[in-house]
Amino acid sequence: MLQIWKSFLIKPPESCLSLVKHMVSLILKWQLVSRLVVLLIGSLIISHSHAMSPNPRERIDFWRDNYTVLSEKNYSKTKQAQSIFRQLLNTAGHRRGIEPRLLIIKEDPNNISLPISIPDGWIILSKAVIDFCYQKNNQAGDARLAFVLAHELVHQLEDDFWHMKFFQALESAHSKDRIPGKIYSEVQNIAKQSDKILAKELRADELGIVYVAMAGYDSRAIVGKSFKNNFFAEWSHDRHPLRYTSKNTTNTHPDIKQRTTSVKVRLQQISEKSDYFKLGLWFYHSGDYERAIMSFDEFRRYFPGRAVHHNLASSYHRLAMRYYHAETNGKNSIQFQLSMLVDPESRASNATVRSNNQSNKLFSKHMKKAIHYYELALEQDPQYLNAYHNLSTAWLHMDEPYKAIAVLQDGLQLDSNNPGLLNNLGVAFHKAGNADKARQYLLQVVSQNKDYIISLFNLGIIAWQNNDRDKAESYWQTYLDKQPDRLWSNYLIQKTRLNLDYHAVKPVKPGREHVQKLMVGHYTNEISKTWDIENKSKFKLDTSTHQLIKFKNHVTTITEGDEIRLIATDRAFRGKSSQGIAIGDTIEQVIKRYGSPDYIDQSSSGQILAYPSQGISFQMSQNKVASWLLYWE
């Protein structure tokens, strides 16, 4: 149009009429094209809304209303399936704004293949799928079910719900007002998307096997050495026989060979890298935070997920606490306990050789890195409660109570009665000068959670600082009667010099720990010849070369040079510790044999009962022994 007006101004007067006619012609053509565009857009919108109208199967209510929901009461494996799912969530994380949850139903729908992810965060699983996973044995069943769930978790995390669109398009083929050929084209279009359905499925397999390995399950239950032990072959033939045999089906899923090859290649790629993650955990729980940082940082380069960022932050946090010197208002000032059980200052032995100024600089340096990685973990998963706990603890140690309060209030929006968050909030308000609110939150924890005893410890500190000796003694005696770890108990008694009654449970037989006579400090040539090696891998950490040797008896050794530095068992280990503890034993059984733990740590899976004086720590999951680690602190 601008060109026409320019021409009008340039042309002589006698050409005006022809120009006006030309303009009218252009306007009429433009109106026609505009109408056609509007009609085309309208028809596309109508067509799309008709073909892809809201699908009731995308909402959890549909599944609850139309199928039989299973629970522990009517299906025994429900509890195990939910436990495995929670373990995977701790490893994989959440999609922003969505918390994945698992619904188990009795029936298998005729027109939808389960399991399947739906957009509101749920994964739908059937009893038949669980039974299929456990048809061989429970040990393999745990790993296989973990892989099935991990595959769907990847779809959840990546906001990938192509399955729902696919099944909806197929179902609409039965509608009378649709043309089967057109529906077939829609299905083909789904299968030929630019980002490739095959690639999505293979990616779900590849990342799924990463999560399985990181969560501690045996990947050999998915792809063994022989085809007979191939999970994909069994799945395709037993669960979906037509998908892989009919030539008329759309190519929406990779075949058995593609899936097997993809997973095996991925396992080969992640083998050493996932070992860095495990190595980081082992170093962390043995108190070697510098090596834990190096290990987690190496794994982060390959798989920068929520879990590794959080663990990296926790390692920097612990390292920072070695240089932490709490300000005191008198010789009896006592450090508060926070939901991340940070070591009290009595363990800060490595800081004693440094000047206060140097220690403060190192503390600030490491704590700032911890805060950075905690915040990164929360960016990836805003519903990650562990990160709220630890980030608030970090801000409190940086003497930033108002920042801690802001973090804790965000966390409490997700879980308003979380005892760890409420405990930290009480401490934060006390540090901010609001003693009344501090007591209010700590008393709320005590009234709602009889076993969450660190709030009793903190209430005693507040009473002590207010010169209410009797109330302080009452809180602390109740705390000690609950049998806390020896580290905090001895710290309390030494600091207060009160006549408190504390009787730690003594170990049945003190001494250095071993696994079938193999001890930390032995050399590799002392390992029994009967231990068959599954695989070996080497790691370069700083200037030292470490070797990780996995044995078929489910024991792993970590060496530096030829000397054994760590020995770890996994959840499939069938032996016993030197004091007779086995996988699956309870916390009470551990304490009865080993005595009160030197200190209690926390992990995403549960508590760590640490006995550095005996060189062993027990990983507890749901209050039962899941594994143990031998080390020298």
- The answer to whether residue 53 scores a pLDDT higher than 60 is no
pLDDT of 323 reads 84
pLDDT of 355 reads 56
Name the pTM for this structure: 0.64
Overall average pLDDT of the 237-250 stretch: 49
Q: Residue 179: which pLDDT band, with cuts at 50, 70 and 90?
A: very low
With a pLDDT cut of 90, the percent of the chain lying above it is: 40
CATH code for residues 524-630: 2.60.460.10
pLDDT of 370 reads 96
* Long-range contact pairs involving 531-535 (C-beta distance under 8 Å, separation at least 24): 531/555, 535/271
Decide if 208 contacts 232 (C-beta within 8 A).
no
CA–CA separation, 147 and 152 (whole Å): 9
pLDDT of 385 reads 85
Q: How many CA atoms lie within 13 A of 4 on its CB side?
A: 13
254: left (phi over 0), alpha (psi -120 to 50) or beta: beta
pLDDT of 41 reads 38
- The answer to whether residue 229 scores a pLDDT higher than 50 is yes
Q: Where are the domains of the chain?
A: 2-51, 56-254, 304-496, 524-630
Q: Residue 224: which pLDDT band, with cuts at 50, 70 and 90?
A: low
Q: Among 165-179, 202-216, 288-302, 535-549, which stretch is predicted with the lowest mean pLDDT? A: 165-179
Decide if 295 contacts 276 (C-beta within 8 A).
yes
Strand bridging mode 599-603 / 606-611: antiparallel
CA–CA separation, 151 and 202 (whole Å): 9
Give residue-wise pLDDT tens across range 69-90.
999 999 999 999 999 998 888 7
Q: Among 11-15, 208-212, 274-278, 498-502, which stretch is predicted with the lowest mean pLDDT? A: 11-15
CATH code for residues 304-496: 1.25.40.10
pLDDT of 457 reads 95
Specify which residues 629 forms β-bridges with: 568, 617
Most confident of 138-142, 455-459, 494-498, 537-541: 455-459
pLDDT of 166 reads 53
With a pLDDT cut of 70, the percent of the chain lying above it is: 73
Q: Could you say which DSSP state residue 523 is in?
A: B
Q: Among 52-61, 67-76, 389-398, 560-569, which stretch is predicted with the lowest mean pLDDT? A: 52-61
Neighbours of 501 (CB within 10 A): 9
Q: Could you say which DSSP state residue 176 is in?
A: T
Most confident of 97-101, 325-329, 477-481: 477-481
pLDDT of 90 reads 73
One-letter identity of residue 101: R
Overall average pLDDT of the 334-341 stretch: 78
pLDDT of 129 reads 92
Q: Residue 37: which pLDDT band, with cuts at 50, 70 and 90?
A: very low
Decide if 598 contacts 286 (C-beta within 8 A).
no
pLDDT of 86 reads 87
- The answer to whether residue 564 scores a pLDDT higher than 90 is yes
Q: Considering only residues 404 and 118, tell me which one the structure prediction assigns the higher pLDDT.
A: 404
Q: Considering only residues 120 and 415, tell me which one the structure prediction assigns the higher pLDDT.
A: 415
